[in-house]
Structure 1
């Protein structure tokens, strides 16, 4: 899962006749009418003032187009140069659970500037998110903390609390979420995007998908290749249909291990002395300091500035993982480490650790993860995975081998995950940082291999998550912008030194 967030997927048996009904759901003539959109102003704080929103009606079940409908919130920034407008550029947020409407507000001005008004910028809140129809799990606040949602094992790798939380969460979500929550899948998001394309009245979409949005973009390009124009997949992951996001979670340990030296080097740099943030004289000592401090907090948690919420070893580890998404967060992590080590200080937790996640956010995240895939249910297998991962990658203390509530989910997966192949137009540009703490480069390479000649990969020698208009430098920005504005891609895969 990622801040643009985290997930898991595996193959399982499909109900008899499922593929026939799915094929009918993806494009019967009766669905090809153009759905109506009524646009109204919906500017966000610090976002473009001309952002507009609308509601798109979609079937709860695309296999039953005349059945119950739900709402998908959509948004746009119209081109400021209508005479030169090329088409529509779809912005796909991460997640599962990321809001496209919010991401367009955050990135719209920069994207509009880079693309020089050649596109109407469009997006959607996937079902379950933001302005779209939502669902509830009905979980107590104590079960909605990030430490529990990420399934961090106990100090010795024990999973008793993880298992108990997983059972409660699965039972509550499936009892309270109903048919709406069961409809939260990657496949349905892709079908909703196709319905949005028809509503917009465009023959093809261009797209920029980030993190989980890159996977959604890859699935759309596989299912509707003739509807894709210029397609950018940013910080993507291994699309292996036998595991998909189960692999993504498992890869976190190695991803963090590759990224942490960037923070350690920063925190040991003499330049930190003037900032009061230097943690050690050598990068290796920063790692040792962190591991020893986390172990101490496992046994002796610290009170924090948030009443009733303590800084535990796992809370420190989670804060570390979040900080690795962007170098801009390094200073905050260094201060937290200093305060945690100082008995006279009161540590201040990052907001996502200080407060429980909203119930509806948990519902969509768990809904997509668990409806997409079947997770193995053998607890002893997870215990072995946690022990092995903890020994090899102590920074993440076995969490990537742990189990989510999906291990207790009923009637999943809903349908087979899509196999990404090299069949389709060669119109995809991938961009990936070499040291991404949640979508590691080696995982993105597997997506590149699956796409074959359809794609080119830009590898960026930087750390962090989300390259374009994010952690990337001038080289990757220029290559992506050139592709979106001219259609010109590199002839082969490219390495950007910056």
Structure 2
């Protein structure tokens, strides 16, 4: 399974929709001049494409402001800027304040990698009401994602089968089957997306963002990156330090880690989140319905997963809830404390033989809607990660590392360790062991770490600050739960972020919010 660096808003949006319902291309070669001189034709936004997750056209913001969409041309291959172009899909909501107070555009990336910014920004637009007083809110589908030359791999039916596979093999036969299925998926990506696969690296997206900055008419890029979006922001700052405006990185990816170290960090992070979930459930005044003690909660979850490996239970007809799907669903619910109630209910029902809620959670992680249609979230996630990450791990590598992963997390260790084979036999070589985010000369970058973050552990914020370089990274700590800090609605965090983005007031390094 893919080792995602945090899907944040993308999966949270899908989860909310699915649970509430259940429980209640590349352009051809063309002659063009300077792409920085192109004019964007902003129009009413269409309904999201299948690759973006489908659904309805975005509703206006409170107060009636409409979302507008446009397409920007960018080089397919940045080493050949006069060659073929691709379309980059953009969305914006204009600034609500007076023109004299407008700073420019604030560009968002919500993570993944593989998440559609065009479909995600409207879902969270009201959270950024204060920021819209001085900025146009802008997001986009990064190349390979959504409507921006999307990576295509397998059909919906094939993906259903792919996600039902045993992702934690116990013997040689199961290991061979996992590797064979991974190879099959990766071969489909090469067959169906050969032209775009070499050009979806994070460095390519960063160059797209600098083109976007110029086309939007801004001297500096003002930026809000979340989860993988923090890695993208760091890479942009490295490539274009003189073009960095006011930038915020929230739920920070550790830029110093290779894929193995990142996966091991996630194992520890999800285990911490599970521990916090168990503690929260058993500390309430009402009885915890899934265990009387923290250890009993975790023991019963472990037993459920062991039982599901032997005998899956009914999920969403005709699919059954397998051990892998249940693990995936549990992990998804730990991205936000808002979903702990769903996890409790899902576990209760699973103990009674009904796997529907855990399967809905798993589906949301994988970009599957209630109609059985997948966005290209998984395809893009794997393509971008495998293009960025140089190491290629074998089954023997994983076998040697399993004890360390199991020590980090008895529940998630195997799952995340075996995810490292996802780039084996990938068609495009990986770029580096880890991204370069050193950015001497950049404007200050506000870096926010959340002590309870499962997907991007807190320690990554300090590593990002150090890697950005002296005088660039400014660290802020949020003592909370979930993936990300600003969307927790914590007044201290939002006050610090708003003060910087709106008024240029850099928080004191080492500020702590709780």
TM-score range normalised by the length of the shorter chain: 0.7 to 0.9
Note if 1:40 corresponds to 2:43.
yes
The size of the alignment, in residue pairs, is 464
Q: 2:342 — aligned with what?
A: 332
Alignment of 1:280-429 (within 5 A): 280-304=291-315, 306-343=316-353, 345=354, 347-351=356-360, 353-354=362-363, 355=368, 358=374, 360-402=376-418, 403-413=420-430, 418-421=435-438, 423-429=440-446
Q: 2:277 — aligned with what?
A: 263
Of 146, 152, 158, which aligns to 1:130?
A: 146
Per-residue deviation, residues 430-473 of structure 1 (Å, max 9, x unmatched): 112101111010123211221233111111111110211x2251
* Closer/same/farther in 2, CA of residues 156 and 283 from structure 1, 3 Å limit: farther
Distance 1:267 1:145 in 2: 34
Q: How far 1:213 sits from its partner (Å)?
A: 0.8
Per-residue deviation, residues 175-232 of structure 1 (Å, max 9, x unmatched): 2211113211111111111111111121112110011111101111111111111100
Q: 2:18 — aligned with what?
A: none
CA RMSD of aligned residues (A): 2.5
Of 427, 435, 443, which aligns to 2:460?
A: 443
For structure 1, the residue ranges without an aligned partner over 5 or more in a row are 7-29
Note if 1:479 corresponds to 2:496.
yes
Alignment of 1:28-427 (within 5 A): 31=34, 33-42=36-45, 44-48=57-61, 49-81=65-97, 82-111=99-128, 113-115=129-131, 117-139=133-155, 141-143=157-159, 147=163, 152-154=167-169, 159-240=175-256, 243=258, 245-273=259-287, 278-304=289-315, 306-343=316-353, 345=354, 347-351=356-360, 353-354=362-363, 355=368, 358=374, 360-402=376-418, 403-413=420-430, 418-421=435-438, 423-427=440-444
Q: Secondary structure at the match of 1:191?
A: helix
Distance 1:225 1:298 in 2: 50
For structure 2, the residue ranges without an aligned partner over 5 or more in a row are 11-32, 47-56
Q: Secondary structure at the match of 2:7?
A: coil
Distance 1:382 1:487 in 2: 46
Query: Quick check: 1:60–1:69 contact (8 Å CA) kept in 2?
Result: yes
Distance 2:195 2:253 in 1: 29
Distance 1:281 1:474 in 2: 34
Q: How far 1:392 sits from its partner (Å)?
A: 4.2
Distance 1:194 1:262 in 2: 40
Per-residue deviation, residues 400-440 of structure 1 (Å, max 9, x unmatched): 21133312113412578642225123411011210111101
Q: 2:22 — aligned with what?
A: none
Distance 1:62 1:116 in 2: 32
Query: Quick check: 1:94–1:211 contact (8 Å CA) kept in 2?
Result: yes
Query: Quick check: 2:449–2:460 contact (8 Å CA) kept in 1?
Result: no
Distance 1:361 1:116 in 2: 28
Distance 1:373 1:83 in 2: 44
Per-residue deviation, residues 379-398 of structure 1 (Å, max 9, x unmatched): 21112223431354211041
Query: Quick check: 1:269–1:281 contact (8 Å CA) kept in 2?
Result: no
* Closer/same/farther in 2, CA of residues 144 and 385 from structure 1, 3 Å limit: farther
Query: Quick check: 1:136–1:359 contact (8 Å CA) kept in 2?
Result: no
Q: 1:4 — aligned with what?
A: 8
* Closer/same/farther in 2, CA of residues 270 and 367 from structure 1, 3 Å limit: closer
Distance 2:67 2:414 in 1: 43
* Closer/same/farther in 2, CA of residues 124 and 172 from structure 1, 3 Å limit: same
Query: Quick check: 2:249–2:445 contact (8 Å CA) kept in 1?
Result: yes
Query: Quick check: 2:246–2:443 contact (8 Å CA) kept in 1?
Result: no
* Closer/same/farther in 2, CA of residues 142 and 401 from structure 1, 3 Å limit: same
Query: Quick check: 2:141–2:148 contact (8 Å CA) kept in 1?
Result: yes
Q: 1:491 — aligned with what?
A: 508
Distance 1:312 1:387 in 2: 23
Distance 1:424 1:236 in 2: 21
* Closer/same/farther in 2, CA of residues 148 and 440 from structure 1, 3 Å limit: farther
Q: How far 1:488 sits from its partner (Å)?
A: 0.9
Q: How far 1:271 sits from its partner (Å)?
A: 3.6
TM-score (norm 1): 0.86
TM-score (norm 2): 0.84
Q: Secondary structure at the match of 2:411?
A: helix
Per-residue deviation, residues 254-310 of structure 1 (Å, max 9, x unmatched): 00121112210222134444xxx6322222221122112222222222112x11322
Alignment of 1:11-22 (within 5 A): none
Query: Quick check: 2:115–2:377 contact (8 Å CA) kept in 1?
Result: no
* Closer/same/farther in 2, CA of residues 411 and 401 from structure 1, 3 Å limit: same
Q: 2:483 — aligned with what?
A: 465
